[in-house]
């Protein structure tokens, strides 16, 4: 359970950039302590070659394209003539409620993975889709993906020790890893638009662009732009703002990691407030990277509690509940 906190802890990970092994035990302890309490933290000095400006530029230049250009990369559930089902672009879906108003573009691993051994029509290792030219530029996005995957692998080796496991415990999770890099855009919501689901209430309504949730996977690394709006829930149920800190990434634990840790690490609830009108016209840009294991990875708790799950089966079961995939599977 996340504890009471007023702000997210800040962890300096410069030791990873400078390959300073003598500082790793301390970093390992700090990360484990954060993962068992808040489940969320800022990482400063991450070992990435990308400036924040470049990351947000890559996303912004894609989202300002006209919708027909973006739709050439859309998943099949949004553009029936397209072959891609799992990776690619998804447009805003205002009919699904205005408290989840976002568009996004997702890529998986830059390398081709082995074909799946399942009869499911959803191929989790399907290749990425790219525009012939322009944004998002394939080489830069693949480079960002590769650097974030390396960072996630470095970070996972640290708390493994705190869980009483060898530092290479999570290496099995890296085999044919299906991690996802997602560019996200939350448009400014017109405050005059009533939320279709909102019941009348005495308290001022909080307008959201991403509803409260925990991340379903292992570990998330988030670039967020200076718009603000991310909020993290502490155990008494207070929403704590997690504003932009220049140069930092936000790290958080997903449900599967909580499971692996035998519930020692917490997957903390979070949400995103709708961008204020002052951020018009573009709203908020964020770029989460979800570290995911391989399709065949057996995910089990280090203390033997709960049932082990095979990652590919776990994802497919979850997808049954996602509206956008029901027509494809059925």
Ligand X SMILES: O=C(O)CCC(=O)C(=O)O
Q: Which residues bind ligand X (CB under 6 A)?
A: 184, 210, 215, 222, 224, 230, 270, 272, 286, 288
Q: Answer for the pair 104, 185: CB distance below 8 angstroms, yes or no.
A: yes
Residue 73 near residue 131, CB atoms below 8 Å: yes
Q: How far is the CB of 253 from ligand X (least distance, A)?
A: 12
Which residue, 34 or 210, is less far from ligand X as judged by CB?
210
List the single partner that 272 binds among Fe ion, ligand X, none, CB under 5 to 8 Å by kind.
ligand X
Terminal CA-CA length for the chain = 37
Q: Based on CB atoms, which residue is closest to ligand X, 280 or 298?
A: 280
Q: Which is nearer to ligand X, 28 or 98 (CB)?
A: 98
State the binding partner of 174 from ligand X, Fe ion, none, CB within 5 to 8 A by kind. Answer: none
Residue 292 touching Fe ion (CB under 5 A): no
Sheet holding 208-213, edge to edge: 208-213, 270-273, 230-233, 239-241
* Residue 222 contact, options ligand X, Fe ion, none, Cβ 5-8 Å cut-off depending on partner type: ligand X
Please name the residue that has the structure tokens 């499971």: 259
Provide the minimum distance between the beta carbon of 183 and Fe ion in the complex, in angstroms, as a whole number.
Answer: 14
Give the orientation angle of helix 138-162 with respect to helix 52-63, to 10 degrees.
130
| Shortest CB 270 distance to Fe ion, Å | 6
Q: What is the DSSP string of 150-168?
A: HHHHHHHHHHHHHTTS-TT
Tokens representing 95? 């009919």
Site size toward Fe ion (CB under 5 A) is: 1
Closest distance between ligand X and the C-beta of residue 286, in Å?
3
Q: Between residues 162 and 230, which has the closer beta carbon with respect to Fe ion?
A: 230
**Rounded-to-integer distance, Cα 67 and Cα 80, Å:** 16
C-alpha R_g of the chain: 19
Residue 118 or 211 with smaller CB distance to ligand X: 211
- The residues near 275 (Cβ < 8 Å, ≥ 6 apart) are 186, 187, 188, 189, 209, 227, 229, 283, 284
| Least CB distance to ligand X at residue 215 (A) | 5
Choose between 160 and 215: whose C-beta lies nearer to ligand X: 215
Closest-CB residue for Fe ion?
Answer: 215
- Of residues 194-223, which lie at the interface with Fe ion (CB under 5 A)? 215
Of 216 and 301, nearer to ligand X (C-beta) is 216
Question: Which of ligand X, Fe ion, none does residue 253 bind to, with CB < 5 to 8 Å depending on kind?
Answer: none
* Binding partner at 230 among ligand X, Fe ion, none, C-beta below 5 to 8 Å by kind: ligand X
| Contact residues for 90 (Cβ-Cβ < 8 A; gap 6+) | 74, 75, 78, 103, 104, 105, 106, 324
The DSSP letter of residue 200 is: P
For the CB of residue 118, give the shortest distance to ligand X in the complex, in Å: 25
Query: What's the rounded Cα separation, in Å, for the pair 284 and 286?
Result: 7
Residue nearest to ligand X according to CB distances in the complex? 286
Does the protein bind Fe ion through residue 142 (CB under 5 A)? no
Q: Which uninterrupted H or E stretch holds 53? A: helix 52-63
Counting contacts by CB under 5 A, is residue 231 touching Fe ion?
no
* Residue 11 partner contact from Fe ion, ligand X, none using kind-dependent CB cut-offs of 5 to 8 Å: none
Question: Least distance from C-beta 41 to ligand X, angstroms?
Answer: 14
Residue 114 exposed, middle or buried by CB count within 10 Å (0-12, 13-18, 19+):
exposed
Residue number, 179 or 224, with CB nearest to ligand X: 224
Q: For the stretch 228-267, what's the b/e string if a residue is b when 16 or more beta carbons lie within 10 angstroms of its beta carbon?
A: bbbbbbbeeeeebebebeeebbbbbbbbbbbbbbbebbbb
Residues that bind Fe ion (CB under 5 A): 215
């Amino acid at each position: 359970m996340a504890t009471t906190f007023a702000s997210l802890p800040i962890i300096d990970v410069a030791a990873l950039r400078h390959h300073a092994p003598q500082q790793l035990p301390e970093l390992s302890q700090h990360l484990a302590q954060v993962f068992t309490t808040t489940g969320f933290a800022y990482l400063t000095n991450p070992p990435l070659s990308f400036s924040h400006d470049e990351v947000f530029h890559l996303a912004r230049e894609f989202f300002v394209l006209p919708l027909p250009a973006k739709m050439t990369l859309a998943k099949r559930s949004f553009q029936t003539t397209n072959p891609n089902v799992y990776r690619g672009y998804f447009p805003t879906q205002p009919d699904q409620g205005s408290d989840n108003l976002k568009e996004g573009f997702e890529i998986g691993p830059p390398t081709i993975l082995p074909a799946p051994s399942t009869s499911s029509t959803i191929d989790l290792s399907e290749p990425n889709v790219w525009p012939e030219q322009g944004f998002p530029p394939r080489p830069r996005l693949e480079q960002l993906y590769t650097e974030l995957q390396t960072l996630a692998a470095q970070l996972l080796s640290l708390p493994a020790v705190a869980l009483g496991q060898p530092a290479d415990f999570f290496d099995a999770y890296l085999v044919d890893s299906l991690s996802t890099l997602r560019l996200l855009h939350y448009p400014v919501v017109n405050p005059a638009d009533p939320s279709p689901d909102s019941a009348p209430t005495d308290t001022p309504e909080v307008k959201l662009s991403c509803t409260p949730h925990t991340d379903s996977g292992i570990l998330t690394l988030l670039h967020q732009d200076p718009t603000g709006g991310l909020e993290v829930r502490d155990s008494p149920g207070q929403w704590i703002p997690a504003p932009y800190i220049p140069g930092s990434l936000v790290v958080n634990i997903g449900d599967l990691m909580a499971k692996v840790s035998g519930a020692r690490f917490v997957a903390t609830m979070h949400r995103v407030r709708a961008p204020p009108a002052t951020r018009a016209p573009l709203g908020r840009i964020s770029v989460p990277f979800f570290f995911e294991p391989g399709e065949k990875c057996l995910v089990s708790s280090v203390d033997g509690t709960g049932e082990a799950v095979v990652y590919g089966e776990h994802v497919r079961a979850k997808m049954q509940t996602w509206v956008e995939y029901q027509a494809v599977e059925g």
